[in-house]
């Protein structure tokens, strides 16, 4: 167990190190890598189909794609599986497509509160790991929100929304995140 904690801390520190984020591309390489790290420390409910190896692990991107080719490059290789599943990247254009995602990255191009509310209405209470990158997204119900602080990528977790999603985070993941809301069940 201690080895797991040490490994997580080392991985997160490496990715979040104080290297300046010169090109935007570097920022999105790091964010793409964080997806896999997050998934190593999150348990999906059995009835979510996460154990079905015949179906891919789906990363959806909604809004303008800030990754360019990075997600495809990062997850196209056979060894870059998530949860022992081949990864498929999908660019979401309709709300109906969200339900098939394991991760839904909500781009900062989603600026209108109504758009975010529509997205969260679809994901709320479902085992879909929503990840945003805009100030205030965690407070509004996005499960994980990435932000930059002192040239480092950090993340915050909305504890209540995470509980409602039925995704179970390892304590190691919670220990390196900023928690929005209470970890205690009401």
State the DSSP code for 16: T
Asked, for residue 154, whether it belongs to a domain, the answer is yes
Asked, for residue 46, whether it belongs to a domain, the answer is yes
Asked, for residue 164, whether it belongs to a domain, the answer is yes
Asked, for residue 186, whether it belongs to a domain, the answer is no
Greatest Cα-to-Cα distance within the chain, rounded to the nearest angstrom: 44
pLDDT recorded at residue 9: 47
Taking the C-alpha atoms of residue 156 and residue 137, their distance in angstroms, rounded to an integer, is 10
> 147: domain CATH number?
3.40.50
Tally of structural domains, the chain: 1
State the DSSP code for 71: H
Taking the C-alpha atoms of residue 32 and residue 52, their distance in angstroms, rounded to an integer, is 23
Q: Which domain holds residue 87?
A: 2-178
Asked, for residue 183, whether it belongs to a domain, the answer is no
Asked, for residue 43, whether it belongs to a domain, the answer is yes
- CA angle at residue 110 from 73 to 14, to 5 degrees? 45
- Per 3-state DSSP, what percentage of the chain is helix, strand, and coil (rounded to 5)? 40, 25, 40
Count of helix runs (H) and strand runs (E) in the chain: 7, 9
pLDDT recorded at residue 70: 94
Asked, for residue 184, whether it belongs to a domain, the answer is no
User: Residue-wise pLDDT tens for the chain (186 aa)?
Assistant: 555 544 544 445 444 443 443 345 689 999 999 999 999 999 999 988 899 999 999 999 999 999 999 999 999 887 889 999 999 999 999 999 999 999 999 999 997 889 999 999 999 999 999 999 999 999 999 999 999 888 889 999 999 999 999 999 999 999 999 999 776 665
Q: Confirm if 111 and 78 have CB atoms less than 8 A apart.
A: no
Asked, for residue 138, whether it belongs to a domain, the answer is yes
Find residue 85's DSSP bridge partners. 82
Task: Please return the burial class of 84, using the count of CB atoms within 10 Å of its CB with bins 0-12, 13-18 and 19+.
Answer: exposed
């Amino acid at each position: 167990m201690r080895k797991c904690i040490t490994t997580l801390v080392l991985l997160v520190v490496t990715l979040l190190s104080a290297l300046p984020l010169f090109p935007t591309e570097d920022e999105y390489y790091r964010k793409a890598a964080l997806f896999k790290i997050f998934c190593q420390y999150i348990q999906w409910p059995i009835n979510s189909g996460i154990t079905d190896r015949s179906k891919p692990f789906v990363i959806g991107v909604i809004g303008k794609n800030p990754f360019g080719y990075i997600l495809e490059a990062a997850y196209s290789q056979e060894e870059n599986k998530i949860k022992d599943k081949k990864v498929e990247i999908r660019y979401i254009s309709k709300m109906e497509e969200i339900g098939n995602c394991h991760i839904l990255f909500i781009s900062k191009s989603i600026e209108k509160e109504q758009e975010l509310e529509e997205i969260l209405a679809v994901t709320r209470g479902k085992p879909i790991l929503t990840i945003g990158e805009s100030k205030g997204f965690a407070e509004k119900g996005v499960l994980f929100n990435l932000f930059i602080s002192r040239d480092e990528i950090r993340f915050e977790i909305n504890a209540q929304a995470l509980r409602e999603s039925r995704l179970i985070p390892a304590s190691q993941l919670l220990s390196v995140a900023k928690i929005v809301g209470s970890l205690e069940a009401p």
